[in-house]
């Protein structure tokens, strides 16, 4: 049988067939979805014949409609991820903390859950998100070679930043646009809390930049240099935030940080960080006024804020309030 013929059970022989498109409705996960199906008909007797490829295409067409209406990552986007980031399907599953074959199933057409779909959409569209995930969870990978290969592929992407604006730039712009009294000191501490709580809730860091353990607490040097001219004054240079760089869940977290963290002064936030394990460990017993550019390891931030989320039984970013109020009561 050739690709252009198929067995007809009525004619009892291989026949040529004609494909006809039809509008159909099918039930998927309890809901009705309309889609365009394709059916094959024998050119000799006009009876319907089975063509495996058309059945696969029909199922994909139905799933595509379901994905679109329920905002589920597309199959094309899923299949583009391994090539884009230079990583195999199994290592990617391990990196994400999923079962070894989970991503492979989605790659082959299985429908991801809404939660996993959001992660895959974010990975596909945001190389900086993937980069932070790769850095923070590299211990899950079987080999260092896999990590290095994927790191190289990711850093070579032309869209690792959008124009001259990186993810941390977008976060800073968003914070400054919503708060009118953030000083350089408080901005540094707020960025640190953004990173910590984003990992606690979403198991990834929001931006890739490293944080250093300076005398007055955690500092992101590039952002410090940008605004240090303000000294102790509130920053009034505000860029229009680019909402396209931030997802809905990221904005929800940032809004909670603005309500429950930005309400404290820079010196108060500094005192909080001086009692927290990541900064204390990174300083390693240095004298109180000793300068240092040692990096606060992301693994330490991950471990500490994950334990905070568990200790305070945080269900969503609004619960950040409980931790911050408890810290304030102790100073």
pLDDT mean by block of 10 residues, the chain; 331 residues: 80 95 89 92 95 90 86 89 94 93 93 89 85 83 89 76 68 91 96 96 89 96 90 83 80 96 96 97 91 92 96 96 96 83
Distance CA 27, CA 244 (A): 34
Looking at 126-212, list the stretches that DSSP marks H as alpha helix, in order from N- to C-terminal side: 127-136, 144-155, 167-178, 184-202
Domains and CATH numbers, the chain: 5-69 (3.10.20), 75-155 (no CATH), 167-329 (no CATH)
C-alpha count within 13 angstroms, C-beta hemisphere, residue 91: 21
Per-residue pLDDT, 160: 58
Reported pTM: 0.57
pLDDT score, position 180: 81
How far is residue 274 from each of residues 76, 194, 310, measured CA to CA in Å?
Answer: 47, 17, 21
Model pLDDT, residue 158: 64
**What is the structure's pLDDT at 163?**
45
Q: Do 227 and 185 meet the contact criterion of CB atoms below 8 Å apart?
A: no
β-partners of residue 23 are 36
Residue 4 has what pLDDT?
Answer: 83
d(CA 250, CA 199): 11
Phi, psi at 296, each rounded to 5°: -80, 110
């Amino acid at each position: 049988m050739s690709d252009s013929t198929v067995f007809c059970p009525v004619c009892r022989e291989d026949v040529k067939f004609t494909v006809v498109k039809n509008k159909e409705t099918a039930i998927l996960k309890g809901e009705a979805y309309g889609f365009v199906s394709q059916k094959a008909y024998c050119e000799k007797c006009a009876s319907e014949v089975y063509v495996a490829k058309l059945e696969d295409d029909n199922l994909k067409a139905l799933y595509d409609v379901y994905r679109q209406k329920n905002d589920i990552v597309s199959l094309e986007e899923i299949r583009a991820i391994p090539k884009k980031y230079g990583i195999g399907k199994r290592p990617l599953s391990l990196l994400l903390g999923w079962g070894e074959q989970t991503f492979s199933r989605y790659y082959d057409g299985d429908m991801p859950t809404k939660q996993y779909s959001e992660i895959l959409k974010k990975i596909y569209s945001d190389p900086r998100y993937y980069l932070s995930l790769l850095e923070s969870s590299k211990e899950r990978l079987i080999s260092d070679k896999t990590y290095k290969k994927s790191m190289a592929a990711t850093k070579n992407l032309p869209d690792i930043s959008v124009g001259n604006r990186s993810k941390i730039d977008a976060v800073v712009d968003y914070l400054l646009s919503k708060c009118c009294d953030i000083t350089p000191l408080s901005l540094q501490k707020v960025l640190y809390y953004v990173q910590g709580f984003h990992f606690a809730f979403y198991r990834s860091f929001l931006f890739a930049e490293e944080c250093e353990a300076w005398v007055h607490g955690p500092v992101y040097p590039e952002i410090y240099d940008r605004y240090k001219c303000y000294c102790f004054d509130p920053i009034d240079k505000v860029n229009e935030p680019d909402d396209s760089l931030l997802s809905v869940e990221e904005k929800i977290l940032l809004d909670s940080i603005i309500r429950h963290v930005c309400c404290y002064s820079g010196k108060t936030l500094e005192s909080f960080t001086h009692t927290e394990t990541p900064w204390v460990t990174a300083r390693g017993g240095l004298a109180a006024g000793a300068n240092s550019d040692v990096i606060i390891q992301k693994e330490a931030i991950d471990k500490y804020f994950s334990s905070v989320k568990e200790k305070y039984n945080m269900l969503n970013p609004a619960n950040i309030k409980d931790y911050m109020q408890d810290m304030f009561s102790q100073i």
